[in-house]
Structure 1
Amino acid sequence: MRQSLALRLISGTAVALLLSLSPGMVASAQTETAPATEGETFDPGIVDTFSGAFLAGRVADAERDYDIAIPLYKKALALAPGDVEIRERLMIALFMNGDFDEGVKFANDLKNDVAVERVTTVARGLDAIRSREFTTAENILKYQGPNDLDRLMNSLLVAWTKVGAGEGKKALAMVEGLEGPDWYGIFKRYNAGVIALLTGDTDAARRNLNEAVTDREGGATAPDTFVRAVMSLAALEAKQGNKQKALDAIAAGDALVGNFAPFKALRDHISKGEPVEPVVTSATEGAAGVLFSIGGALNRDGAEETVTLYLQLAHALEPKSADTLILLGGLAEKLERPERAIGFYKQVPETSPMRRISELQLGLTLAETGKVEEARKHLKSLIDSDPSDIRSYLAYGSVLSEAKDYAAMADNYDKAVGVIGPKPSRGDWSVFFQRGIAYERLKQWEKAEPNFRKALELNPDQPQVLNYLGYSWVDMNRNLTEGLEMIRKAVELRPDDGYIVDSLGWAYFRMSRFDEAVTELERAAELKAGDATINDHLGDAYWRVGRKLEATYQWKRALASDPEKDQVAKIQAKIDKGLPPLAEDAAKAAPEADPEPPRTEADKKS
């Protein structure tokens, strides 16, 4: 279901325009003048030719640096006012940057341009909704084309224009009667439910929202829409005085989306009998929710620009939507624009139940930008403000781990375990895992091992824990059979994780099973071709099986792949002299030697 949805949801020409970038033009632009990366400064005013402004603008555009791309495109447009492609690119960049008011002016000018028709249509329709010109919006947004996603999105937006125009019953009938592929289901039911709530049809609202909440496949495909359905149903039941039904709705949400902070906040409000605000209170918010829901469903690797566009349009309609801001922040991080991410996280309203999530993400992102001390203070203050929130310890621990302050990391997780108490849940495995890592790095294995075992007791099939404990045993020449089986199981669970496959290959190497080591390390090198450690390991394995020329080649690749500083001299020595005789090498790998910690893809960011 997920794969077919991904293939069918991507809309055509507008998305193609977003990043259609000629490599030749990029090279030319970089030769003439290259925009700066985030954190550096670049003055677009130094560019004084059309080609320079246009090509440098495209480079900045490709790097998602819209603050630079926009003035460059404007300069190019000033020099060539009739250039339609520049107008198209400038409009898209403005929308991607959140400059909706300026972008929609270009959308009105380009409304007959087929290359960007989808973008201009939606933007113009949303602008009319924002101005409460609902009849105009409906006329703009009517869709007769063949694309399933476009038909769903425009139909739902048209339904919300009818709500705004006071035709709630027609809107409800329209959404409930909407025909399309099976994946329409959760989008239809959620929107029908909240439309019914706004129009006072409690029975229709309860029926549609219940169907959305029980749609597990739809919830897995569109978790953001599922979450909103759960919260809307809980709010409805709470308002009707059905406290237990409201709590049951949240429990259904927990079963699919565990440890979600807004669920916890909502549960607390309902348990205390406090009033609960509905998720959607107006047609404008409902229309924004359509863009948010579809953007959230599309949110996967490779679709970041499309998702950003939808979310920025949703943000223009509902600027204070916490979930939109947090999702935009996450996308900015993924696109390596951490300063933009921080800006989004800071906009989340203090009264929002999602504020704490934004604060946690803010702390982690500060650390990524090099502001480690500021991040530590920020996250420590979050722990102090709510010592019961385990997520705060995990976020703080992640920063401490990155800073290699393992003593503080161990102390942090000791406190977290104290908060968890004697009856940890399955979801607490990561606390024990991270505490084990801290003690392992402090060379206190007698404290580390029980934590790894506890993590596995709570979550027996967790590949990171299986890999770490199994590898550590093999590296210390202990429990070799059990350790190797753990790593094999981790590989079975995560066969495409180059780091875990590397662990298996290196375990074979440590056990002098060199042919098997070569097989696994070659596969790891295919999965993570540019990783210095994997290339180094593969070189060692090649050397032991007599493939010395290939070994030297792999070591040189490792040296060219930005290895850790303390490994550079060791790798160079192997290039110069090869590995020592096997008996001598085995002596160096005695249990008391400092073991090399295993790695996984997930370890890169906790």
Structure 2
Amino acid sequence: MPRTAGPLASNIAIMKIRRPLVLGAAMLAAGLCGTAAAEERGLSDYVQGRYAAAEGELARAADLFEGALSRSPDDKGLLQQAFELAVISGDEELAVSAARQLGEESGFDSAIATLLATDALKRRDWDEMASRVEGLKGTGFGSLVAPVAEAWALVARGKKREAREALAGEPPSGLAKSYWEEHRGHVALATGRRNEAIAAYRPLIVDDEGGNVRIRLALAQALQKDGKDGEAGAILEAAQVTPVILAARADLSDRKRLRHAPGNARTGIATLLLRISSDLSRQRSVPVALTFARIATWLDPDEAAGWLMVSQNLARAEQYESALAAARQVGEDDPSSGTARAQEAALLIAMDRDDDALDMLKAAAAAPGARAQDFVQLGDAYQRAERYSEAIQRYRQALEAGVENDVLRWQTLFLIGASEEQRGDWQAAEVALREAMDIAPEQAVILNYLGYTLLDRGVKQEEAIELIEKAHALEPNDGHITDSLGWAHYQVGDYAKAVETLEKAIARVPGDATINDHLGDAYWQVGRHIEARFRWRAALEGEPSDEQTAAIEAKLAYGYDRGVKMATNARSAAAEGQPES
């Protein structure tokens, strides 16, 4: 099956992981009820704070929780809730206050210990920072922070040689090794040893296929400082295209200084925390990932990546208003402003404010100097709303506005082709998809979409299978492409091979409606009828389209042969505007 034809270039998926803001009514009995009037007032503040938080009034909620804490300073449950609320709302003062009391009462945990260490850094209290960093070493994720934080603390104190020596030995094993190796280069560059930085960075981009954007930007900066602009340009040209990479290429061409590597202790530790937050986010460790990202913004509020990471983690916790506020911290002149705007639109849609999202994107596309990316994002919004003609119009405007490079050009052409196919103009879709393939002949997503669509339409079957096989060779672990290959086996009558391939696909994407439907069909053809019905029922639970639902229900009710015939007749009648027979 093709990957979703939805927005490829800028759509942000919002993962909904429900996590209550506060722990619930049981906390009312956890020590807040006292006989003194002050405790009664504290209870009032607590209850009002919970209500304000539930209503999304996080700033007011934070004030009320702070008032409750002042009257019940020893309530551990309240302290924990206050800390969580402060992280969500971005209230650094409350977070530090709660963290101090929690840290002293319950020992170190990674989030609290990290916050207290960075607070000491900001206050230039080196003795406290050294103590806090030492405490980090025994706190789970904090142990990843400690070695690098020690080096940056030495940088902050002007001890440049000692800072470099702190990361000069044998790096630790496991995940901490990659953080150590990266910051060995950052610390060297920040302390004026650009050749050492270059030597540290180079091994980190070997065989990265351009994907290590962060290190490539830092290496290019070090090379530029060393007067090697040509080599710096080659490093950036080989990087995967992102708005920040495009901006860096332009700056290098205009002989502007690149400023992407951290240059001091605050930005260095913020860079580390964002990297860890990103890694934790992939594991869905939302609370710790959010806290590390939020601390990074408190250390380095000018870094767009921090605000975007905070916004993404808040969205995963369904704190959409706070996520929106974080995304809006990215300035319009920042290279990541387009990404932030796309995130804002996705958040508004998640909040059922589709019209607001569309109005925002329309305004950006109508503004003087609108960029290709603005039109692509508006096209994405129309695509999500299944307004395919309007989406295609905006994507074509993006091409006319001047797409900056081949990667964005093929992506835009792909979006046009997918939208044309979805609105039913196959000829126009094929033209756009082939144009995209001419630019990027090794892009599996194009090969798979074109091959699957040809296969599904029953035309150019030999070419279709070749395209899908090539896509699968490029992306063997992609479940949707594996499904396309399995369906190709099915279409040529090799049902046993189809079953084998589709079982691999469903193992990678178990809840997908189309893959379950295909596997059900393949099971039926090899005589495994009970398993076929199980897969068809699973497909109904996977949010199939209305047309898929009707076809699957017909197969469940009447068996494969009669069900498919009935579904085909129904589609034909609908296409001709006739009543179903």
Q: Shorter chain as normaliser: what TM range? A: 0.7 to 0.9
Q: What does the per-residue CA deviation read over 1:394-442, in whole Å, with 9 as the maximum and x for residues that have no partner?
A: 3333222211111112222223333458x97255322221111122123
> Are the counterparts in 2 of residues 436 and 448 from structure 1 also a CA contact under 8 Å?
yes
Higher mean displacement: 574-583 or 129-138: 574-583
> Are the counterparts in 2 of residues 193 and 205 from structure 1 also a CA contact under 8 Å?
yes
**What secondary structure does 2:108 align onto?**
helix
Q: 1:186 pairs with 182, 187, 192, which one?
A: 182
> Are the counterparts in 2 of residues 142 and 155 from structure 1 also a CA contact under 8 Å?
no
Q: 1:162 pairs with 147, 154, 158, which one?
A: 154
C-alpha deviation, 1:252, in angstroms: 1.1
Match of 2:431 in 1: 450
Match of 2:559 in 1: 578
1:84-99 alignment runs, 5 A limit: 87=79, 91=83, 94-95=86-87, 98-99=90-91
C-alpha deviation, 1:78, in angstroms: 11
1:284 equivalent in alignment to 2:269: no
Over the aligned positions, Cα root-mean-square deviation in angstroms equals: 4.7
**What is the distance in 2 between the residues matched to 1:347 and 1:176?**
37
Q: What does the per-residue CA deviation read over 1:73-100, in whole Å, with 9 as the maximum and x for residues that have no partner?
A: 9999999986757755764664465443
Match of 1:252 in 2: 235
1:418 equivalent in alignment to 2:400: yes
Q: What does the per-residue CA deviation read over 1:288-339, in whole Å, with 9 as the maximum and x for residues that have no partner?
A: 3332344345553344443322222222222332221122223334555544
* Code of the aligned partner of 1:141: V
**What is the distance in 2 between the residues matched to 1:234 and 1:66?**
48
Match of 1:502 in 2: 483
> Are the counterparts in 1 of residues 554 and 563 from structure 2 also a CA contact under 8 Å?
no
Match of 1:464 in 2: 445
**What is the distance in 2 between the residues matched to 1:330 and 1:167?**
36
1:191-590 alignment runs, 5 A limit: 191-194=187-190, 196=191, 201=192, 204-209=193-198, 211-212=200-201, 215-217=204-206, 223=212, 225-226=214-215, 229-230=218-219, 232-233=221-222, 236=225, 242=227, 245-246=228-229, 248-256=231-239, 258-272=240-254, 280=262, 282-296=264-278, 300-334=282-316, 337-385=319-367, 389-420=371-402, 425-426=406-407, 428-581=409-562
**What is the distance in 1 between the residues matched to 2:544 and 2:385?**
18
Match of 1:125 in 2: 117
Q: What does the per-residue CA deviation read over 1:559-602, in whole Å, with 9 as the maximum and x for residues that have no partner?
A: 344433344444333322223459957975999998xxxxxxxx
C-alpha deviation, 1:269, in angstroms: 4.2
C-alpha deviation, 1:50, in angstroms: 4.2
Match of 1:171 in 2: 163
* Code of the aligned partner of 1:205: R
> Are the counterparts in 2 of residues 540 and 551 from structure 1 also a CA contact under 8 Å?
yes
TM-score with structure 2 setting the length: 0.75
* Code of the aligned partner of 1:528: V
TM-score with structure 1 setting the length: 0.73
Between the two structures, name the one with larger relative contact order (CA 8 Å, sep ≥ 6). 2
Cα 1:247–1:509 change in 2 (3 A) is same
Cα 1:304–1:458 change in 2 (3 A) is farther
* Code of the aligned partner of 2:347: T
Cα 1:533–1:330 change in 2 (3 A) is same
Cα 1:520–1:433 change in 2 (3 A) is same
C-alpha deviation, 1:471, in angstroms: 1.5
Percent sequence identity over aligned pairs? 24
> Are the counterparts in 2 of residues 348 and 358 from structure 1 also a CA contact under 8 Å?
yes
> Are the counterparts in 2 of residues 490 and 500 from structure 1 also a CA contact under 8 Å?
yes
**What is the distance in 2 between the residues matched to 1:168 and 1:146?**
26
Unaligned 5+ segments in structure 2 are 1-17, 34-46, 576-581
Match of 2:101 in 1: 109
**What is the distance in 2 between the residues matched to 1:383 and 1:551?**
48
C-alpha deviation, 1:211, in angstroms: 3.6
Count of paired positions: 536
Cα 1:248–1:328 change in 2 (3 A) is farther
C-alpha deviation, 1:216, in angstroms: 0.8
Q: What does the per-residue CA deviation read over 1:196-241, in whole Å, with 9 as the maximum and x for residues that have no partner?
A: 1xxxx4xx1354246425631597899464155246437746xxxx
Higher mean displacement: 577-586 or 445-454: 577-586
**What is the distance in 1 between the residues matched to 2:198 and 2:481?**
42
Cα 1:379–1:431 change in 2 (3 A) is same
**What secondary structure does 1:530 align onto?**
coil
**What is the distance in 1 between the residues matched to 2:452 and 2:24?**
52
C-alpha deviation, 1:480, in angstroms: 1.1
> Are the counterparts in 2 of residues 66 and 96 from structure 1 also a CA contact under 8 Å?
no
**What is the distance in 1 between the residues matched to 2:211 and 2:548?**
44
Cα 1:206–1:367 change in 2 (3 A) is farther
C-alpha deviation, 1:277, in angstroms: 6.0
